[in-house]
Amino acid sequence: MPYSLFDLNQMEQSAFTEALGEIFEQTPTIASQAWEQRPFTDVDDLHQKMLTVVNAMSDEQQFALICAHPDLGSKAKMAEASTQEQAGAGLDRLTAEEYDRFHRLNEQYKSQFGFPFIIAVKNHTKTSILEAFETRLQHSQPDEMRQAIAEISQIAYFRLLQQVTV
């Protein structure tokens, strides 16, 4: 259910956290801490203030945020927003061969970097996601940590655009 920016600015911290706690996958503390930076002038301001919280996190906290995300194309239980996002890119309709390829790439990526591959699927297709997998497997671990946080930031922005009206 979308929330108005006005209502979000008026909410108690617990209600705000309940409303926006899943903007960052399974990490409601980001919304809770961003609440302290009210009022928000628009969705971009809210997003930037949430990113301020993310950027202030320790490496261990950012790693936990990255690890909270599901594997792409997996059949595991995931947040409703993740389910919808992956369906939008066709990842809920993979052939057996495509599923196997995604599974292999996910496993290779996790083995190499220690966390799941994350990409803001909204602007992607199965093909472009597979190409990104192949490219990003060539990166260093620190580069991929930064890329994962950048992708998470983009995912959060897309989710805010769905959840917040002005």
DSSP 75-131: -S---HHHHHHHHHTTTTS--HHHHHHHHHHHHHHHHHHSS-----GGG--HHHHHH
pLDDT of 122: 86
DSSP 164: E
Question: Is residue 77 very low, low, confident or very high in pLDDT (cuts 50, 70, 90)?
Answer: low
* pLDDT single digits (tens) 7-39: 999 999 999 999 999 999 999 999 999 999 999
Average pLDDT rounded to a whole number, residues 88-111: 87
Average pLDDT rounded to a whole number, residues 143-148: 96
Catalytic residues: 69
* CA–CA distance, 53 with 47 (Å, rounded to integer): 10
Question: Is residue 78 very low, low, confident or very high in pLDDT (cuts 50, 70, 90)?
Answer: low
- 155: number of CA atoms within 13 Å, CB side? 26
Neighbours of 96 (CB within 10 A): 7
* pLDDT at 2 > cutoff 70: yes
* CA–CA distance, 66 with 92 (Å, rounded to integer): 21
Mean pLDDT of the residues in the chain: 91
Which of the pair, 147 or 76, is modelled with greater confidence? 147
* CA–CA distance, 106 with 108 (Å, rounded to integer): 6
At residue 40, φ and ψ (nearest 5 deg) are -100, 135
CB within 8 A of 2, min separation 6: which ones?
162, 163, 164, 165
pLDDT of 85: 73
* CA–CA distance, 43 with 161 (Å, rounded to integer): 7
CB 66 within 8 A of CB 115: yes
